Structure 1
Amino acid sequence: MRAVVDPQTDLVIDGFPRSANTFAYFAFVEANPSKSLKIANHIHSSAQFSLAARYGVPALLVIRAPRPCLASYAQYMEGVDLGVLLDRYIRFHRGVLASVGHCVVSDFEQTTMQLDKVIGQVNARFGSDFVAPPMDEAFVARVRRTIEQQYVRLRDELGDVIHEGKKAVPTSRRRERRDALIEQIEGPRLASRLEEADALYAQLLSGGGS
């Protein structure tokens, strides 16, 4: 995993961390096992999309609303100030605005529940013939098992640095912490920056129009 786009790339699947990047990547690979595809993914940089536009590479930008995204990211990046994470969110999403016209944009719910339709939009937009994930219960369970296996493998290799907060699937403990983190994110200290993050998210959902 983790690959930068180049002129030979078949598809970019990327976005800000904790926006269902991993689910989208593994679901796409699961649906296209017989294809020798080069997929740029998990760089989490707006440059990934500016390069995709330059090279004419199909691009899927996954996005997630600021509050749940940052609550998840804060658990992944244990000990990092919420303001720092919010600034990263703003910087990334501000950066991709210049390239959003070249992208199919998918929010978290679409990515995790309707990825078949999203890949259909990619095919329609770019003239590609990728196989759309079926997104039935058995398929989604298979993808989640693959993600869980990756987590276990990394934990075995790297030890405690791969803690539960780094899982790319929901857990009951993380859900319990989410509400408290969202309350902090919505506090007065971050209010103006959160407003900007909300505006950027809405703008990207609408295709980049002001």
Structure 2
Amino acid sequence: MCFVGLGMRIIGVTAYTYDANFQFGSYTMSGGRKANGYPSIVVRLLTDDGIEGWSESAPLGSDYLPSTFTGEVAALRELAPHVLGLDPRSPAVVVQKMDSIMLSGNAAKAFIDFACWDIFGKSVGLPTYNLLGGVLCPSLPAFTVIGLGSPETGVKKALAEYERGVTALQLKIGDDPVKDAQRIRAIHKALPSNVVCFADANCGWNLEQALIYTRTLGQDICIPLE
């Protein structure tokens, strides 16, 4: 039988940053948005028992989500002193403390919350997923994203992902609806039938443009809009 010891406290919070670049170089989506990668964050919590908790996130650009790299780093700097001395095995208490300090900054709070759960699991010798309810499936479904570009580039990237074992693709659209439909048709035609494709315009179209896309795509292909 394993009991959680008394008196564990957070004594240190460290944030590390690094650049996470995209494997295909430039990544494009609707509205002319483009990026080669995003700076990412890793957080370490240290306890007086010597147990470390780790968490990681790759914030997307400020033109895509309200959460940003610079904002999360600033929020972590403000939150960190206030979680020192708290017991990481009581994540709800830690979150309550952070909420009392800052109304926003949910992404930054998540770094600390995840690391607390990591410490909790290590302290009792259990994977974090057991603490959160257990494993309901042997593996998690995942997909990869193919950005905007020419049909030839899209087909090349999609086939490269399929060769890596990926069987679900999010295909970016939201530019010219006719050209987007032609590119999606080319990608769909090049892939085996077991590959699931869905399209994401990222709020790049109005209703009329979306209808032009679906009519150009044709009834013989079913690519759901995300």
**TM-score, reference length from structure 2:** 0.28
Q: Which has the higher contact order (CA 8 A, sep 6+)?
A: 1
Larger Rg: 2
- Greater fraction helix: 1
